[in-house]
Structure 1
Amino acid sequence: MSYSLTAADKANALSLRDDERFNHFVARVCEHQELWILTDEHGCMMLTSDDDEDCIPVWPHPDYARDWAVGDWSQCKPEAISLQVWLSRWVPGMEEDELLVAVFPTPDETGVVVDPHELQEAIGRKQTLGRRN
């Protein structure tokens, strides 16, 4: 279940630079053990990066994903994926299919695009730091 998100929290997160939003995403996903994608009757929403690479956008909360569900994406709905399922199934599958991850893109389409393994490593580092504190 998603955490409570105030309008101020949302505005603050969306005003962060792409790299800061990436870190915010990693922190929230580690804290709440889930991430969000957009899906429709055809499956998971995919984007094409500026470098013409296919990627799956992910968000730390359904409200951010819902902000994307307009225009061509208006039929899409936020869907939660547990962190455990993401790491055990999605990361290997995306690597096999040569897909990238668009981490916490904003409605104006800015965000960090990374290899799934790179995101997995960032999550692993955050989890290790969390266990030490």
Structure 2
Amino acid sequence: MSTPLDATAIETIQGFDAEKRYKHLVKEVVANRKIWILIDEHGCVMLNTDDEDCVPVWPNKEFAEAWATGEWDNCKAESISLNKWHSRWTHGLEDDELAIVVFPIQDQEGLVIYPDELDYELKNQAKKQR
């Protein structure tokens, strides 16, 4: 079970640039064995960039919930186990030609990457933590 983040930690992490947030997400997801998405009555929330349809992901429930405002205030944060992410989500996103937007926060975009890239980084991080 992951420990809830305090306000100081949230503020510090929100100050990270997109690349540092990506690295933070990889470490947190592997350490906590889960990744967070937002869902509504239709399923997983999607974002659109100029080039890609994307699924946004976050390392912690607090950051996912912070995104659930405005048009997404009816959404709720849901965790996906790391095993389920590897076994189902990576291939499912690839099959649907969807990208991932890593850890977007208010007023800052996240990095847009492909599912196999995130899968590779998560597996690499897991090897380091053994």
TM-score w.r.t. length of structure 1: 0.94
- Percent of paired sites with the same residue: 44
* CA deviation map 1:10-44 (0-9, x unaligned): 11111001000000000000000001100011110
Gaps of 5+ in 1: none
Establish whether residue 67 from structure 1 lines up as the match of residue 61 from structure 2: no
Residue in 1 aligned with 2:20?
Answer: 20
Q: Report the CA distance between 1:88 and its aligned residue.
A: 0.5
Residue in 2 aligned with 1:110?
Answer: 109
Q: Letter of the aligned partner of 2:8 in structure 1?
A: A
* CA deviation map 1:67-126 (0-9, x unaligned): 111111011000010010011000000000000011111111411110000000111111
Residue in 2 aligned with 1:32?
Answer: 32
TM-score w.r.t. length of structure 2: 0.96
Q: Letter of the aligned partner of 1:78 in structure 2?
A: A
Residue in 2 aligned with 1:48?
Answer: 48
Cα distance in 2 for residues equivalent to 1:75 and 1:53: 24
Residue in 1 aligned with 2:120?
Answer: 121
Cα distance in 2 for residues equivalent to 1:2 and 1:99: 28
Gaps of 5+ in 2: none
Where does structure 1 differ by over 4 angstroms across 4 or more consecutive aligned residues? none
Establish whether residue 86 from structure 1 lines up as the match of residue 89 from structure 2: no
Cα distance in 2 for residues equivalent to 1:112 and 1:102: 6
Helix, strand or coil for the counterpart of 2:80?
Answer: strand
